[in-house]
Chain A
Amino acid sequence: MRKNSPLALCFHALFVIFMLAPLLIVCVVAFTPEGYLSLPTRGPSLRWFKAIFDYPEFIRAFRDSLWLAALSSTVAIMLAVPAALAIARHRFPGREALTTLFMSPLMVPHVVLGIAFLRFFTQIGLSGTFLGLVLSHIIVVLPFALRLVLAASYGIDQRIEHAAISLGAGHATVFRRVTLPLILPGVVSGWLLAAINSFDEVTMTVFIASPATVTLPVRMFLYIQDNIDPLIAAVSACLIALTAGLLIALDRLFGLDRLFVGTGKG
């Protein structure tokens, strides 16, 4: 393989700066000792990080977001695994239509989904509840879970299962001892991608969140709409640091290109 030219590398360096600049500036501004947005020219200060603890709504929203992500992606993966197995190994009428339906939350803009859920939940008395948030998030993250489990299910050699059955294993045992271990990488990465997407979702959630049940990104969005100050930069910096840690862990565990580029092939 030939090397990139110096010009190409310059372009690449500029691009990486473009990608990282907005994240870095947030982290730098978060350390300002001043009471207003500025670069920490007088040395870094943890003042605004301490200030986060005076705003329990951010802490509560963070906790709710974690619960929401964990619950919705778990239910989504439990729905996605059997569906993926059916789609991967059976040819049945309606297979294409079902796949399209399950993938449709990727096509439908999240604003539209938010409006649809707001209308629906108001009608059935679920508006502003945590249950409503979980139900809506199951829908938005299911395509991510399904895609990765599906990719894993296509790769299984079904003769291994047949061997287990011929040796007298029941259906439950085959699933637990043979099928599930084989698709486990897809299940785990599907769950993770679903959880991350649930945690980051803001567009749809902003419609159905209520002051009592609000996720961290929505809380931050509503705060920014009122004013931008070093406090929100500190909250964002924490979020960026958390994501960076997660990212490095994911890269070590799975390899990022597999987790994301693999999704395109599903």
Chain B
Amino acid sequence: MNRALSQRATPYWLTGPALLVFLGLVVIPLAMTVLLSFYDWGQYKGIVPEFTLKNFHEIFTDSYFFEIFLRTFRIAVLVTLFCMLIGVPEAYILNRMSPAWRGICLLAIIGPLLVSVVARTLGWALLLGSTGLVNQGLMAAGLIRAPLEFMFTETGVVVALIHVLIPFMILAVWASLQRLDPQIENAALSLGAGRLTIWRRVILPQIVPGMLSGGIIVFALAASAFASPAIIGGRRLKVASTLAYDEFLNTLNWPLGAAVAVLLLAALVAITVGSNRLIERRYAQVFE
């Protein structure tokens, strides 16, 4: 009896330390942040621990905040779409390569994942600046006369974020491509299907779950990205995360910054959990 009891307690002993750390360092800080978002704040009085809906009211009524959240959403959607458009064919091509070539190409595609986002975004700032290579190349080719403005624009932020996040899409799609039986493709071919039909009717339906789960990851990371929008977008082109940063470290209106963070978290959790549910229900048979 005693032995059975200790057997049952084992998993709790094993997970206990990690659980304690997470309660102390995740649950409590997050709860404190949610609480903070309901506090009052004034230029001279600082943070006042009194319950108020002022911060949320301000965010929902001021068009300045609405614009920033809308921009964040727009950037995340664009980045997700482009990652799918480029990442899916790329994963397919990668999957058809010989293992030796694939290894080298994987280095080129996954490698940037390990380089700090700051260094990667700096590269885009150098490429996209008004005297950067992209503009010089386009002007030398006679395609444009004046340099295009990429820095401090949404286009620049979207390009940099696609570069940062597309490896996640490729890995997700590639994982589902590896489960695909190549004989099915051959069967379709032998039954007279064209390349396009095979893609549309045979391959695509099987990798849609991988695409969608990759899309959720990319969307969530794009919507909460910080370094790339901060460097490429600058202070003029704010997104939700850089807005929260400014409220915390420049304006020092912590309760308002906390409210922005809480809204961002709530929106992301709702969108990711919701779409996950939807995908799992719609594609239940693929996951089995």
Give A residues with C-beta under 8 Å from B.
Answer: 1-4, 8-9, 11-12, 15-16, 18-26, 29, 37, 79-80, 82-83, 85-87, 90, 92, 95, 98, 101-102, 104-105, 107-113, 115-120, 123, 135-136, 138-139, 142, 196, 199-200, 202-203, 206-207, 216-217, 220-221, 224-225, 228, 232-233, 236, 239-240, 243-244, 246-248, 251, 256-257, 260-261, 264-265
Contact = CB atoms under 8 A, between A and B. Distances in A.
A251 B122 contact: no
B224 to A, nearest CB: 3
Contacts of A104: 22, 26
Nearest to B112: A19
Given A109-B268, A112-B224, A116-B30, A86 B126 contact: no
B114 A112 contact: no
A119 B29 contact: yes
Given A16-B105, A264-B175, A138 B25 contact: yes
B204 interface: no
B249 interface: yes
Contacts of A20: 108, 112
Nearest to B241: A111
Interface size class of B (residues with CB under 8 A): 35 or more
Given A120-B28, A123-B32, A221-B231, A22 B118 contact: no
Nearest to B89: A11
B211 interface: no
B14 A82 contact: yes
B249 A207 contact: yes
A79 B108 CA distance: 33
B44 to A, nearest CB: 19
Nearest to B126: A25
A13 B117 CA distance: 23
Contacts of B220: 107, 109
A223 to B, nearest CB: 9
Given A112-B33, A115-B257, A206-B226, 9 more contacts: A1-B96, A4-B93, A86-B12, A92-B8, A107-B272, A109-B268, A216-B116, A236-B119, A264-B171
B103 A224 contact: no
B265 A202 contact: no
B84 interface: no
B256 to A, nearest CB: 11
B207 interface: no
A25 B17 CA distance: 46
A22 B127 contact: yes
Contacts, number: 251
Interface in B117-154: 117-127, 129, 131, 133
Contact of A102 (B22, B33, B36, B268): B22
Contacts of B70: none
A115 B224 contact: no
B15 A23 contact: no
A225 B115 contact: no
A19 B117 CA distance: 13
Contact of A108 (B14, B108, B265): B265
7 contacts: A21-B123, A26-B123, A111-B226, A111-B241, A112-B265, A203-B226, A251-B103
A111 B26 contact: no
Contacts of B17: 79, 82-83
A4 B94 CA distance: 9
Interface of B: 8, 10-15, 17-19, 21-22, 25-26, 28-30, 32-33, 36, 86, 89-90, 93-94, 96-97, 103, 105-127, 129, 131, 133, 163, 166, 171-172, 174-175, 178, 182, 220, 223-227, 230-231, 240-241, 244-245, 248-249, 254, 257-258, 261-262, 264-265, 268-269, 272
Nearest to A250: B114
Interface residues of chain B: helix, strand, loop or mixed (majority): helix
Residue from B30, B116, B265 having most chain A Cβ neighbours under 10 A = B116
B18 A79 contact: yes
Contacts of A23: 112, 115, 119-120, 123
Contacts of B223: 109
A85 B18 CA distance: 12
A77 B24 CA distance: 18
B207 to A, nearest CB: 14
Contacts of B97: 4
Contacts of A101: 19, 22, 26
Contacts of B268: 107, 109
Contact of A202 (B22, B166, B226): B226
Contacts of B258: 115, 119
B261 A111 contact: yes
A19 B129 CA distance: 18
Contact of B119 (A11, A136, A220): A220
B93 A8 contact: yes
Contacts of A90: 10-11, 14
A251 B122 CA distance: 26
